[in-house]
Amino acid sequence: MSDRKPSYLNFDRENYQWRSDIDYRKHPELYKVGKGEQGVLICEPYKSEIGQFWRFKNPEIAEESSDKIFELFIEYLEKNDFVGADMSRKYLQMGFTRARRYANYKGGKKYDAEDNYKPLERDTGDPEKAKAAEIFFKRWKEAESNVIYSTMKEIWKKEKG
């Protein structure tokens, strides 16, 4: 078992490149792609636009949620709004990772806060969440493989980071 502790324990807010006080639609030049899901719970107005649809309680809800978020992804692409498309992709990825965590760990808890954040043993978790994770995984990969999106992302990363 790993001795790693959750990254949020030493979170450096001052040097985090995403800010909650920036309107990333008005100032898209300040947006950075980052790694994985970074910035997904901070970047407005996209957090509010997309986050309200992000649900993974069971496969039916995950299907509806991932369909709506993917629909937003396409709408952002049609508007040439890379930040919105990338944020949608991040929510799809986060749907997969969070549902997988609940599938792997009972209650979705990975660390024992009462025991110096020692990693907990994986258990059976919730099989419904495993199905929800599969649904989000397919939509996430569909978004990532979108030719328009991947071209926009490549250009964005070269020009803006």
Query: Do the domain assignments include residue 13?
Result: no
Specify the residue for token string 């991040």: 90
Rounded to 10 deg, the angle between the 127-144 and 147-159 helix axes is: 70
Any idea what the Cα angle at residue 96 is, between residues 150 and 74, rounded to 5°?
40
If you average pLDDT over residues 89-95, what whole number do you get? 98
For the full predicted model, state whether its pTM sits above 0.75: yes
Q: What residues contact residue 122 under an 8 Å CB cut-off, 6+ apart?
A: 104, 105
CA distance 24 to 15: 18
Q: List strand residue ranges (DSSP E) for 63-152, in order.
A: 111-112, 118-119
> Do 30 and 161 meet the contact criterion of CB atoms below 8 Å apart?
no
Domain count, the chain: 1
Per the domain annotation, does 4 fall within a domain? no
The answer as to whether 151 is a domain residue is yes
- For the ranges 8-12, 39-43, 87-91, the lowest mean pLDDT is seen at 8-12
Q: Would 45 be classed as within a structural domain?
A: yes
In a domain, 137, yes or no: yes
Residue 105 has pLDDT above 90, yes or no: no
| Count of residues making up the chain | 161
Mean pLDDT of 109-132: 77
Residue 140's Cβ-side half-sphere holds a number of Cα atoms within 13 Å equal to: 19
Among 146, 35, 151, smallest CA distance to 93 is for: 35
In a domain, 105, yes or no: yes
- Of residues 127 and 61, the one with the higher pLDDT is 61
E strands present in the chain: 111-112, 118-119
User: DSSP class of residue 90?
Assistant: H
85 domain residue, yes or no: yes
79, part of any domain: yes
pLDDT of 97 reads 94
| Per-residue pLDDT at 3 exceeds 60 | no
Strand, helix or coil at 23? strand
What percent of the chain stands above pLDDT 70? 86
Least confident of 3-7, 86-90, 115-119: 3-7
User: With bands split at pLDDT 50, 70 and 90, how would you rate the model's confidence at 11?
Assistant: low
Q: Which domain holds residue 69?
A: 18-30+37-110+121-159
The pLDDT of residue 159 is 93
